[in-house]
Structure 1
Amino acid sequence: MNGGVRAVVAAGLVVALGAGCAGGEGGQDGQDGNAGKAALTLGRGNGTALADQPLDIGAERLPAGAEVTLTASAKDRYGKTWRSRTRASADKDGRLALGGKTSSELLSGMLPDTHPKLNSGKTFSYHPGPPGEQRAYSVRLNLTAAKSGKRLASRTLTREWLTGGATHRELTADGDKLAGDLYNPPKGEPRKAPVLVFGGSEGGNAGTYTAALLASHGHPALSLCYFRCGKGSGRPDAIDMIDLDYFTRAARLLGKQPSADPGKLTVMGNSRGSEAAQLLGQRRPSVVRNVVAYAPSSKAIGPYPSGQAAWADHGRALPTGPLPLDRVRGTVLAVGGGNDKMWGSAASARDMAAHGARKLVYPDAGHHVNWFPYGQPGQEGGADGAVARTSAADQRARADSWPRILKLLES
């Protein structure tokens, strides 16, 4: 790992811990589970949990006052290792409790050993295999003596995208006239708000992890790709004349799923996708109830990177300018960062609130306040301390906003 970035991440995680014990032991890896030897513990569960669930890591049977290092590591879809670490000390009884905040920061603070964007100033994120192929990913925890590096204990966490019984189906141009991934909760689940998820100017199928997690929370969810979807998708390579009819077709398919309550359908758009989400809430109120707009713009902007117009409706170009919200049937929730260097998402969230939206503005966060916490840490590229602090603030924004969004979906 780059030394400068490692130092920044470590500085945010180092803690000196006093008395306290993390309860709820799970299965320890065999070589470390012998009686009388140090053991890693969890505050809840047995080491298997949804990827958006917080952690509460501790240890017991350590020497009194022992200085230790806890390292978390995971491999991404390309086989590259990402890791983070924190130092701590056991109490007089040989117990250690990191607490939920520091435990969860081990996941959101992971950085790659090597990465082409590490010092580039560009954004990059940890991506394991897509949920349709890999329903969970593994995080290895290693506890070592701080000075000698001797391993004291280890265990593996399983972070799930899809719980047992939840299903995935890839959507294709030939079969569905759509590009994306459809996720459904296990059969027999009660009807809940379905969620249509889509990203911004990055293109591709950016919301697939989020949609999988939503299905595991009981919500039928569709991650929709609307541009840069690959060969054979039939989709354009630019945000140019993207028709609301395409999103509407996806929403209607989603509303027909067995566990969907179509009257509560919610759209969740990030960055440039927030424009489409607001347009759908305003122009398709019979189909869309709620709108979640991450890092939003309160105005429709021009095409990207070039073209006639970004958005269209029934084949007609939609103009740039303010996005009205007076016909939205349900709630509009705007989530913005006060330190957004991409555009003024906090100001847009306030503009939207002046027109009836609810707003969540996080003053220290940047542009990457979107989606869920813990499982898919996003990093701003570069080793600069201010950049690292923005990434940490983004993660705190996700941890705060995600439960609120899940609550909105239940309303």
Structure 2
Amino acid sequence: MTIQLQVTPERALVDVPVEIVCTGCQPGQQVTLRARTLDSDQNSWEAYATYRADEQGEVRPASQEALSGTYQGVDAMGLFWSLQPKGKRRRPSSLSWRSEEPLHVQLVAEIDGQAVAQFDVERVLISPDVEKVDLNEQGLVGTLYHPKAEGRYPAVLILSGSDGLPRPNQAAVLASHGYAALSLVYFNAPELPRTLANIPLEYFEKAIGWLQEQSFVDEEKIGVIGLSRGGELALLLGATFPAIKAVVAGSPSGMTHAGFGGRGGYDVPSWTYHGEPLSYPKSHITFWQVLSWTVNGLRRRPFEMKSIFVQMLQDQENIKAATIAVEKTQGPILLISGDDDRMWPSNLFSEMVVEQLREQQFPYAYEHLDYAGAGHFVCFPYGYPYFPPTYLPLNGMAFGGSAAANAAALKDSWPKILAFFERHWQPT
């Protein structure tokens, strides 16, 4: 019998799981399946797992345990999220895919080290019924995607964190689920602030107004989603502008923190409103922290920022002034964190937000998803389900989590994010 490898569906949106079946093997035979792809920077990524064919001579990752490989256990999509960079001394920390074209993944079946079957699949980031709009007017910079069909759709602002990178593909994925999604750039672009410092909240107010003016947007259904400093910003916008009717904050803080860059270094406000800077807690870096970072740097070990933010909580006076009035938000709030976040204590910050909402008798729904073993990059818009998650150190900083834990958090949180919006805004 000829060995065949089949993947269904062959082409699908990136968040749609596939079924992999290898047939024609000998019962009990060991079969290795490999997945290979290239990212936008032409880095090679590969994953593999070895299985034992069942009595019918078939291998099905959805129901059979991997004996060895880049992931463990039974997982239909393990070969996708466990992709790892190969062949370079300086390996990228995440799989970067900046094209609107589908990501091609080659699957190969091997027996005794020899390739016996192959199948190519496409992971799509934008549905064909979605339209793109480049935003560069009124001082606003970003990329909007929305369904082409006539109608008025809920709109979601997608916010980056301290990296300042745009998230157009994330907007495309969300738009493919029936939303107008705007990846808004707010610094590190021409005619915008160079760094995350003194960003006027009026910029986001203008973006909200621009969205409401679009004929395909339901002006009463505007939401926001962000992670890390973007999560902080999402909570801040919800508390500041009544037009925001739903907030999703990943790895967030319920207080405003210092910005960085320019003459102020790391002692400069991130945000301003009506020309006034917003307060932020002060950091007091100790001699022992500096020593620890120095030793880790010499040993090429990543350092954790978390301890700095935990220590900030002792600055009660500035903490109170910097606390975001999340109870003023005019809609539901979803908080997402990982308990192994080593960038900052996002699960503790999230619980502080929950307690504040509880004490203030917040009238809308709120929920905190806290994932065991997951790190800082725990959810959309800094990842998709079934896509290699970010967890490795970058620029000397540790983010926590593991590939398996972060992937599990992405898989679980994404449908809950969609359900969160759907419960409150049924797309028309």
How far residue 279 of structure 1 moved from its aligned partner, in angstroms, is 1.2
**Stretches of structure 2 lacking an aligned partner (at least 5 in a row):** 64-73, 281-321, 358-365, 424-428
Letter in 2 for 1:182: L
How far residue 376 of structure 1 moved from its aligned partner, in angstroms, is 5.2
TM superposition score normalised by structure 1:
0.81
TM superposition score normalised by structure 2:
0.78
How far residue 256 of structure 1 moved from its aligned partner, in angstroms, is 3.5
How far residue 115 of structure 1 moved from its aligned partner, in angstroms, is 4.7
Q: Find the counterpart in structure 1 of residue 109 from structure 2.
A: 143
Over 3 Å counting, the alpha-carbon distance change for 1:310 and 1:129 in structure 2 is closer
Q: Find the counterpart in structure 2 of residue 107 from structure 1.
A: 80
Q: Find the counterpart in structure 1 of residue 310 from structure 2.
A: none
Over 3 Å counting, the alpha-carbon distance change for 1:393 and 1:77 in structure 2 is same
Letter in 1 for 2:24: R
1:125 and 2:134 aligned: no
Letter in 2 for 1:127: S
- Specify the SS of the correspondent of 1:209: helix
Return the alpha-carbon distance in structure 1 between the equivalents of residues 406 and 139 of structure 2: 35
How far residue 40 of structure 1 moved from its aligned partner, in angstroms, is 1.9
How far residue 176 of structure 1 moved from its aligned partner, in angstroms, is 4.4
How far residue 200 of structure 1 moved from its aligned partner, in angstroms, is 0.8
- Specify the SS of the correspondent of 2:326: coil
Tell me if structure 2 keeps the 8 A contact 1:168–1:182.
Answer: yes
Taking the TM superposition and a 5 Å limit, the aligned residue runs for 1:245-256 are: 245-256=202-213
- Specify the SS of the correspondent of 1:361: strand
The percent identity for this pair of structures is 30
Tell me if structure 2 keeps the 8 A contact 1:73–1:82.
Answer: yes
Letter in 1 for 2:109: L
How many residue pairs match? The answer is 354
Over 3 Å counting, the alpha-carbon distance change for 1:241 and 1:370 in structure 2 is same
Return the alpha-carbon distance in structure 2 between the equivalents of residues 187 and 324 of structure 1: 38
Q: Find the counterpart in structure 1 of residue 344 from structure 2.
A: 343
Return the alpha-carbon distance in structure 1 between the equivalents of residues 148 and 80 of structure 2: 27
How far residue 391 of structure 1 moved from its aligned partner, in angstroms, is 2.7
How far residue 252 of structure 1 moved from its aligned partner, in angstroms, is 2.4
Return the alpha-carbon distance in structure 2 between the equivalents of residues 49 and 221 of structure 1: 20
- Specify the SS of the correspondent of 2:420: helix
Taking the TM superposition and a 5 Å limit, the aligned residue runs for 1:29-68 are: 36-42=1-7, 45-68=8-31
Q: Find the counterpart in structure 1 of residue 57 from structure 2.
A: 94
Letter in 1 for 2:233: A
Return the alpha-carbon distance in structure 2 between the equivalents of residues 41 and 388 of structure 1: 36
Over 3 Å counting, the alpha-carbon distance change for 1:170 and 1:64 in structure 2 is same
- Specify the SS of the correspondent of 1:102: coil
Q: Find the counterpart in structure 2 of residue 201 from structure 1.
A: 162
Return the alpha-carbon distance in structure 1 between the equivalents of residues 257 and 400 of structure 2: 29
Q: Find the counterpart in structure 2 of residue 294 from structure 1.
A: 250
Taking the TM superposition and a 5 Å limit, the aligned residue runs for 1:7-406 are: 36-42=1-7, 45-99=8-62, 102-115=75-88, 117-118=90-91, 124-131=93-100, 134=101, 136-145=102-111, 147=112, 149-172=113-136, 175-188=137-150, 190-205=151-166, 207-229=167-189, 233-285=190-242, 287-305=243-261, 306=265, 308-320=268-280, 321-356=322-357, 357-371=366-380, 372-375=384-387, 377-381=389-393, 390-406=402-418
Letter in 2 for 1:168: K
Return the alpha-carbon distance in structure 2 between the equivalents of residues 368 and 178 of structure 1: 27
How far residue 241 of structure 1 moved from its aligned partner, in angstroms, is 1.0
- Specify the SS of the correspondent of 1:279: helix
**Stretches of structure 1 lacking an aligned partner (at least 5 in a row):** 1-35
Tell me if structure 1 keeps the 8 A contact 2:376–2:399.
Answer: no
Letter in 2 for 1:218: G
Letter in 2 for 1:346: N
Q: Mean Cα displacement is larger for which, 345-354 or 95-104?
A: 95-104
Return the alpha-carbon distance in structure 2 between the equivalents of residues 275 and 369 of structure 1: 15
Tell me if structure 1 keeps the 8 A contact 2:83–2:388.
Answer: no
Return the alpha-carbon distance in structure 2 between the equivalents of residues 355 and 40 of structure 1: 53
Return the alpha-carbon distance in structure 2 between the equivalents of residues 258 and 40 of structure 1: 46
Letter in 1 for 2:232: E
Tell me if structure 2 keeps the 8 A contact 1:195–1:268.
Answer: yes
In the alignment, which of 396, 402, 421 is matched to residue 409 of structure 1? 421
